[in-house]
Amino acid sequence: MKLLYRFTIMTGILFFVFPLSAPFAGEKDFECLIEPREEIEFSSQVPGILEEVLVERGDIISKGQLLARLKSGVETASVDLAKARVGFGERKKSRNEALLKKKLISAHEMDELETEIQLTRLELNEAQERLKLRTIHSTIDGVVVERFLYPGEYVGEEPILKAASIDPLNVEVIVPVEKLGSIKEGMRARVRPEAPIGGKYTGRVIIVDKVVDAASGTFGVRVELPNPALKLPAGLKCYVRFLTN
């Protein structure tokens, strides 16, 4: 185990060395890295011109929130046209129901009318789905990490935004093979982020790798760390101690 020395006292020819403890000093403490739970790049399913981006880097976002919108004048007009056709068909059906009762039109003609209304409703659904493709919504609760495009730019296959989910966080640890079998899923772990955050936080082991890296003689462990107030940022180095009780 490495020792950090604070100072040395010399008395005659004797030297006394006092070790300085590192955070969580001891054989059960391991270096770790705090990472986002997941990172997602949001892009569009269809190409087009970006009309507006409603969030900026650092903004907190929620699942289902509208993030960006492409120009959609043609698609909006198609929806309005389909709605008008559905409305006309329903009014026509209402008028013909009275004629059917008086036997002024046949049941076959009424059936054709109802079929036409069903087809126009399907056309409306199709137009609405095409319009939805022009909007980008968040699939996670998280924070915007990066913004790539701005209004007026062409959107193709490249992403518009990048966001990260940071509640909970993942704490990734590389552990010597000697600890294989002593660290198990469900075990509690105490995490101490580096300065200036500091403090101690308790998480739980959710993954223990079943394959050891032969070259380094280590295996990976993942600790899930709750972060409900989003107090902890991702990307910090840390120390972790696995708790047995």
Q: Which residue has the higher pLDDT, 167 or 229?
A: 167
Residue 56, pLDDT score: 96
pLDDT level of residue 153 (50, 70, 90 thresholds): very high
Q: Are residues 179 and 236 in the same domain?
A: yes
Q: What is the pLDDT of residues 186-199, one digit of tens each?
A: 999 999 999 899 89
Does residue 190 sit within a domain? Answer: yes
Residue 3, pLDDT score: 39
Sign, CA dihedral 118-122-123-125, equals positive
Picking from 111, 133, 155, the residue at the C-terminal end of a domain is 133
Asked if residues 170 and 35 have their Cβ atoms less than 8 Å apart, the reply is yes
Asked if residues 157 and 140 have their Cβ atoms less than 8 Å apart, the reply is no
Does residue 89 sit within a domain? Answer: yes
pLDDT level of residue 32 (50, 70, 90 thresholds): very high
**Length reported for the chain:** 245
Residue 177 CA to residue 222 CA, distance in Å, equals 15
Residue 214, pLDDT score: 94
Phi, psi at 100, each rounded to 5° = -65, -40
Does residue 100 sit within a domain? Answer: yes
Helix residue ranges per DSSP H, the chain: 73-101, 107-132
Residue 175 CA to residue 33 CA, distance in Å, equals 13
Does residue 189 sit within a domain? Answer: yes
Q: Report percent pLDDT > 90 for the chain.
A: 72
Amino acid letter, residue 183 = I
Per-chain mean pLDDT for the chain: 87
Q: Which residues contact 237 (CB under 8 A, 6 or more apart)?
A: 31, 32, 33, 34, 193, 194
Q: What is the pLDDT of residues 187-233, one digit of tens each?
A: 999 999 998 998 999 999 999 999 999 999 999 999 999 999 888 99
Q: Which residue has the higher pLDDT, 109 or 235?
A: 235
Phi, psi at 62, each rounded to 5° = -125, 160
Q: Are residues 181 and 235 in the same domain?
A: yes
Residue 110, pLDDT score: 79
DSSP 95: H
Domain CATH number, residue 212: 2.40.30.170
- For 222-225, the CB contacts below 8 A with 24+ separation are 222/170, 222/171, 222/172, 222/173, 223/32, 223/170, 223/171, 223/173, 223/189, 223/191, 224/168, 224/169, 224/170, 224/171, 225/34, 225/168, 225/169, 225/170, 225/171, 225/191, 225/201
Does residue 140 sit within a domain? Answer: no
Q: Say how many domains are in the chain.
A: 2
Picking from 108, 133, 158, the residue at the C-terminal end of a domain is 133
pLDDT at 11 over 90: no
Q: What is the pLDDT of residues 49-105, one digit of tens each?
A: 999 999 999 999 999 999 999 999 999 999 999 999 999 988 888 887 777 676 777
Residue 100, pLDDT score: 67
Flag the least confident range among 7-21, 46-60, 156-170, 174-188: 7-21
Does residue 146 sit within a domain? Answer: no
| Structure token digits, residue 91 | 């009014």
- How many CB atoms are located within 10 Å of the residue 220 CB? 14
Domain CATH number, residue 100: 1.10.287.470
Q: Are residues 117 and 174 in the same domain?
A: no
Does residue 44 sit within a domain? Answer: no
Does residue 180 sit within a domain? Answer: yes
Q: Residue 131: which of 61, 50, 46 has the closest Cα?
A: 46
For the chain, the straight-line distance linking the first and the last C-alpha, in angstroms and rounded, comes to: 24
Q: Could you list the residue range(s) of the whole structural domain that residue 231 is in? A: 26-37+167-242
